Amino acid sequence: MTEFVLYGGKGGVGKTTLAAATGVKTAEAGRRTLVVSTDPAHSVGDAFDSRVGERPTSVPPARDLYALEIDPRERFQRRYGDTFDELLGDAQSVGLDVDRDDVGDISERGLIPGADEVAVVDLFAEYDDHDDWEVVIFDTAPTGHTLRLLELPDVLDTTVGKLLSVRERVSSVTDTVGRLLGGGDDGGSSRSYSDRASDLQSAMDQVGDRLQASRHTEFRVVTLPEQMALAETNRLLGQLDEAGVPTDTVLVNKTLAEPPGDCPNCAPRYERQQAVLDEARETVGRDVVEVPLAPEADGLDRVETVAEHLPEVN
């Protein structure tokens, strides 16, 4: 089965660099690897010093390394967005009093505002146990987006049911009108709604199971050696535990090596970082991996430097 590695954490902690570096490490070990950016603010291409789009693109430095960046909202619109317009159009064409207020709580429950998360679920399902890839590494959006993603299986249990309920109202009226006019019922439109809703539900079930499959899915949390970042990380870990998502590793990025004696400003910062690292080891309940700051490296150079400090993918 394809191995999944997900990198999550607050914005600006360096998830993209670590995801790219993990891709380098696994590809250099001879495993065909795909690095996927699901963060609307893409930078995977920058990390590899390569132009990356929505199709898997070969990137340096390893032969078996590929990357892609998706636009989550565009993907949602292309695959599911027109369902709502078709639904409302058909309802209004037969005089059923269904307007956008009737599906308002679908929006409130996160299907439309959470279009980017739904698109990510759709992407996870596409690459689950994919023949082309041994390892797929996801550079996820910041913490809030990640948590909404993890909540979607429960959310869509409600929203898909709501969508199907509205669909049934439309189907009932269109069937009645068809019979009154002596026409047949080809069921095409209602099957379309049902199929799309079922596709979403199936994807949610599949991804929910996959995120909790510790043998083949690893969620790595990235943080910084700062007190506020550690506090947010502990909150995220608690929510991941509640969602049943296994997390074995917390990576503390941009840590300082022992400061030189001729840098008076470095020593206090180093000491503060060490205090945070000590607290992290006591509180997170996972392996804590330090990833050193590489101030003189950028782009692919930094990615390759960071790769040396990351744990292996199972």
Same domain as 19, residue 52: yes
Predicted pLDDT at 105: 47
Same domain as 106, residue 66: no
Which residues, 6+ apart, have CB-to-CB distance to 294 below 8 Å?
301, 302, 305, 306
Rounded Cα distance, 260 and 281, in Å: 25
Predicted pLDDT at 98: 52
Query: Looking at the domain assignment, is residue 313 inside a domain?
Result: no
Same domain as 135, residue 14: yes
Query: Looking at the domain assignment, is residue 230 inside a domain?
Result: yes
Rounded Cα distance, 60 and 24, in Å: 8
Structurally, how many domains does the chain consist of?
Answer: 2
Query: Looking at the domain assignment, is residue 150 inside a domain?
Result: no
> Which residues form the domain of 252?
3-73+118-144+214-307
CA atoms within 13 A on the CB side of 56: 13
Helices 299-307 and 15-28: angle between axes, nearest 10 degrees: 60
Question: Which pair of structure tokens corresponds to residue 33?
Answer: 């690897």
Q: Please, what is the Cα angle at 151 between 234 and 15, to 5 degrees?
A: 50
Which residues, 6+ apart, have CB-to-CB distance to 277 below 8 Å?
225, 252, 255, 288, 290
State the pairing for strand pair 33-37/217-223: unpaired
Same domain as 166, residue 57: no
User: 120, 111, 14: which is closest to 70 by C-alpha?
Assistant: 120
| 110 torsion bin: left (phi>0), alpha (psi -120 to 50), beta (else) | left
Same domain as 187, residue 168: yes
Same domain as 231, residue 250: yes
Query: Looking at the domain assignment, is residue 257 inside a domain?
Result: yes
Query: Looking at the domain assignment, is residue 149 inside a domain?
Result: no
Query: Looking at the domain assignment, is residue 152 inside a domain?
Result: no
Question: Which pair of structure tokens corresponds to residue 132?
Answer: 């082309």
Rounded Cα distance, 302 and 291, in Å: 11
Same domain as 224, residue 196: no
Report the DSSP beta bridge partners of residue 69: 37
- Does the pTM surpass 0.85? The reply is no
Same domain as 103, residue 128: no
Predicted pLDDT at 176: 55
pLDDT (tens place) for every residue of the chain, 314 residues total: 789 999 988 888 999 999 999 999 999 999 999 999 987 676 899 999 999 988 999 999 989 999 999 887 777 777 766 665 666 566 666 565 555 555 554 444 444 545 666 777 778 888 888 899 999 999 986 666 666 666 665 655 555 555 556 666 666 655 655 555 455 455 444 445 566 666 767 777 777 777 776 678 888 999 999 999 999 999 989 988 887 788 889 999 999 987 767 777 788 889 999 999 999 999 999 999 999 998 888 889 999 999 999 999 98
Predicted pLDDT at 294: 86
Q: In 10 A of CB 126, how many CB atoms? A: 11
Tens digit of each residue's pLDDT (9 = 90 or more) over 97-140: 555 555 554 444 444 545 666 777 778 888 888 899 999 999 98
Query: Looking at the domain assignment, is residue 228 inside a domain?
Result: yes
The conformation of residue 110, written as its DSSP 8-state character, comes to T
Same domain as 181, residue 269: no
Predicted pLDDT at 107: 46
The conformation of residue 225, written as its DSSP 8-state character, comes to S
Same domain as 262, residue 124: yes
Predicted pLDDT at 110: 42
Predicted pLDDT at 179: 52
| Identity of the amino acid at 297 | A
Same domain as 218, residue 196: no
Q: What is the CATH number of the domain that holds 67?
A: 3.40.50.300
> Read out DSSP for 163-174?
HHHHHHHHHHHH
Report the DSSP beta bridge partners of residue 253: 291
Same domain as 137, residue 38: yes
